[in-house]
Structure 1
């Protein structure tokens, strides 16, 4: 039994050695013994290469604004581990985390003795979340983010009221497949009978896969750019202003604090989800709740301003789609400013095209590494950069100190979310 929070979290992290083991048998085994808590609360299930966290956050804020108690399960965390299991946007307490570990650890040890072997770190955290929301502190609704892919993701034992697939891009290809169709098939694995699916996928080949699976499951599909349309967008007081047409309704002049065209897309999926639920008389709320919830939404580490003078922005753009979104936001909001970028990434990511894309907006680039088993070296990142005005630092703390100057330029720290998490904590201090 654990009494200490750090020991409990260390035990969870010790499961990392079991790697990623796609498949649902271990989760089903654990859930059965806990009385299937994942079946007790209505769930919205969200998959996608990018945009999952923002979409979760939009929905959570809208429901919270309407007075509902909302559970969220997300990954990775940015500030504290407990963020992964949150109620109304607030991470669960350290004591609750310890109690959950004490509940799941014996189960994990029993499972290790079976033919299924030990659960992975992510399976343990997922089991903790289901037990917390299903037994310990039940919310009105859970917004559940997949960890990786969809079909064999440990969250995919649920029967949701609605599924959302934000987008499909090339990420985690060693596990999810080499083609956009294969990856889309994995993400579309979350589509279940009796639960309509909403998607922001724009790639035609990926969308065709999702359409086919929705037809096989005999569920309605609402696709952005087809059934859902962003009819106009502009910038107002450094915020995004847009109008949206869904299959259920029409909204003018919706305001977002989160910036970038990709955020209009994420918010549109959330709005359509709310509209669908209203059409089914589920979770009634007002248009005012929805508009206020959207405007209040911010998401740590996603184009987040950490300092205004000098202007320092952090953004967890950890794949090519994320980088494209970052470039779009910079071009929308800071096209007349000099941009300096500090970048770090995981070695198993295809970072060369990411760096090349960032050079399109960068006046200068700096590279660094961070304390993580799979982090790329600063030198490898530096060597992959084609521009002349570049440098590298072995220590990211030193990089921050030397890279940022007190002037009117824009300083963007981006790359792996694990890296951004450390930088954010450091800048907050």
Structure 2
């Protein structure tokens, strides 16, 4: 039977992880130990996200107080930094109801941005039949606060009416991306938040109120989720998870991995945009950060199986892992999945590398970009393939019929 040191080295992670957990052989790892490490990973990951969103709030406040190009860029940089740890939390979502029920308020997309603010109507693509697609809350008279934003979320029953979370804030910082230059992001002027006569596009004070309310709400949501996973808080989700039947806990871990891998990341977040060749369907379309979203989502799945997480300060969290637990039952199943997760990560990083060289995700999905399409398809195929191995890993530890969430968007 292979030890976890051998298995993890196959994923090119050997030497990066804390030595102590790797000294434990796969045969001695228990489901309870894996559960303990899982909640520790979640706690560290959501804690990092909370810290990053706290910085985002500080930078947004500074931008609102003194709106200029530098303070706007600092707020944008903070938003991008806050996306990285958050995107690595997403494999905790589907199997854990506390995360799944909460996620819509923090990460809903794509959005009909005309619900929130002005748009360039001749290039505005919104959901057909959405009567609030041009409601323009910022141009209205209702008091802008967290309650209004929450009440406007999915207004009229339309999922395109996104009023809260990361992507509402993204739109308010970047504005629409018209792709006049393929390497451009949105070009919202900082003067959209200026005082007095320097204000552009009207309603600058209300726009600032909206940005402030949305950012404060995101921070409150992150605090709630960090608290849910913190050790020592009586009655929180962490303590409830640790009381679960072991098989149910393992099912939740693996179901979260499989559902993010197949239906969400391979399907909704990649294949939909590729098949439609549509910028409107990419995840972070205003900032062109979609390539990083994809890579960090893939890493989220890998983190949970390998039982590791690299914190934003560079320190490592590591412990008893699903990889070890599966290896004790079926060494080949564990080794194969570790290898496939590493391969998927490598393919996702190729999308990131292309973006760093000026070819953002929205350019990689255009119909005439054969190399870009090939890159995206390879990552989708790798995600689909690894999902089958996640199901095999589940069976090895006694979890039958995992049935991860799939997507109707698999064609082509």
Q: Report the TM-score, using the length of structure 1 for normalisation.
A: 0.28
Q: Quick check: which one's helix share is greater?
A: 2
Q: Quick check: which one's strand share is greater?
A: 1
Greater RCO, CA 8 A, separation 6+: 2
Q: Report the TM-score, using the length of structure 2 for normalisation.
A: 0.29
